[in-house]
Amino acid sequence: MLSSLLVCLCSFIVLMIIISSHGINQVFGDSVISVIPVGSFPQALVFNPSNNNTYVANRDSGTVSVIETNNNTVIKSVAVGASPHALVFNPSNNNIYVTNRDSGTVSVIETNNNTVIKNVTVGSFPEQLLFNPDNKNIYVANVISNSISVIDSNVNEVTNDIEVGIDPVDLEFNPSNNYIYVANEGSNTVSVIDTGNNNTLIKEIEVGGSPISLKYNPSNNGLYVANRDSGTVSAIDTRDNTVANNVQVENEPTTIEFNPANNDIYVANRGSRSVSVIDGSNNTLLETVVVGTEPVAMLFNPSNTGVYVGNVVSNSISILNSENNTLASTTDVNSLPLALEFNPSNKAVYVAGTLTGTDGLVSVIK
């Protein structure tokens, strides 16, 4: 009897060891719980905390789908401009702002009834945009105009156009100095805009080849720049706006994500089917994790501290365990995942993708 108990106890201890070392697969046992048809070629998502809806920009339909996330159904399709590219939520007025790349406009959606209340004319080929919580303005990157349009969200009018480098493709806000940083793909620079000084351009920082993605690290006030053509990440010290280090990663770093659970920086390398992990404390390469083919989208999930990676050729989501920076699991989504968004109200991840190039889908994984 005693020997049997000892055998059971040993088996239990072994099981606990296995669970502790591999239990992340159970924590990250994500599967597709819903597939929602939307418009053609959905490529951007944003969550609205004022109504718990998720908004989807459908490039080829010229629409924004509104998903009611309690039952994961589309409750409205909002017509906007041509080729809606990106969205941002403005918490000061609860409106959604949408860049329409081929129209040269930003549509403003009033989210109480999900209707367009204004189309704001900006520069040529607007792509990315962001909300500045310090002055409540919306900043829009106009790729062909080589400018940033500043929209006063109190009146939804352009108050300033700032000339920056060539082909501005991404923006990031730094709350420690209230500056806006702009990645200029065509001039290999990052523009620095002082938003407290009449939105004045104060510096151009030289970085690597084709900077296309930015991410701010609040743990060290650093700004990280993915340089696609040089296979590097430039770490900018925002105290003096100089490059502190250039970290060699792998081919075509495309997207950057910050993980507040460990203060590390994650870099999706589209050309290498990998994610590079940079230690945010000393800006050195920690790990390189193999994921799916052509990773282009990333998201930190605060409910489980996992990093989710969208692989557009593999049609899958790789989920990284940020405790040890290893691949925890892979979830097939049956459509090329172009964008990811977390919904804190139901703790699900929404994945925008297309199956045939025309059929748009949003997969919900949890």
Instruction: Judge whether 151 and 142 are in contact, CB under 8 Å.
Output: no
| Tens digits of residue pLDDT in 292-340 | 999 999 999 999 999 999 999 999 999 999 999 999 999 999 789 999 9
Instruction: Judge whether 281 and 298 are in contact, CB under 8 Å.
Output: no
Name the CATH code of domain 38-293 (choices 1.10.10.10, 2.40.10.10, 2.130.10.10, 3.20.180.10). Answer: 2.130.10.10
- Distance CA(26)–CA(28), nearest Å, equals 5
- Distance CA(265)–CA(275), nearest Å, equals 10
Instruction: Judge whether 199 and 191 are in contact, CB under 8 Å.
Output: no
Number of C-beta neighbours around residue 285 at 10 A: 16
The H-assigned helical ranges of the chain are 2-22, 24-27
- Distance CA(353)–CA(347), nearest Å, equals 20
Per-residue pLDDT of the chain (366 residues; tens, 9 = 90+): 434 433 343 443 333 333 333 333 435 779 999 999 999 999 999 999 999 999 999 999 999 999 999 999 999 999 999 999 999 999 999 999 999 999 999 999 999 999 999 999 999 999 999 999 999 999 999 999 999 999 999 999 999 999 999 999 999 999 999 999 999 999 999 999 999 999 999 999 999 999 999 999 999 999 999 999 999 999 999 999 999 999 999 999 999 999 999 999 999 999 999 999 999 999 999 999 999 999 999 999 999 999 999 999 999 999 999 999 999 999 999 789 999 999 999 999 999 998 766 689 999 999
Q: Is 196 helix (H, G, I), strand (E, B) or coil?
A: coil
Burial of 222 (0-12, 13-18, 19+ CB in 10 A): buried
For the chain, domain boundaries: 38-293
The length of the chain is 366
- Distance CA(266)–CA(279), nearest Å, equals 9
Q: Is 27 helix (H, G, I), strand (E, B) or coil?
A: helix
pTM above 0.95, yes or no: no
Tell me which H or E stretch contains 313: none
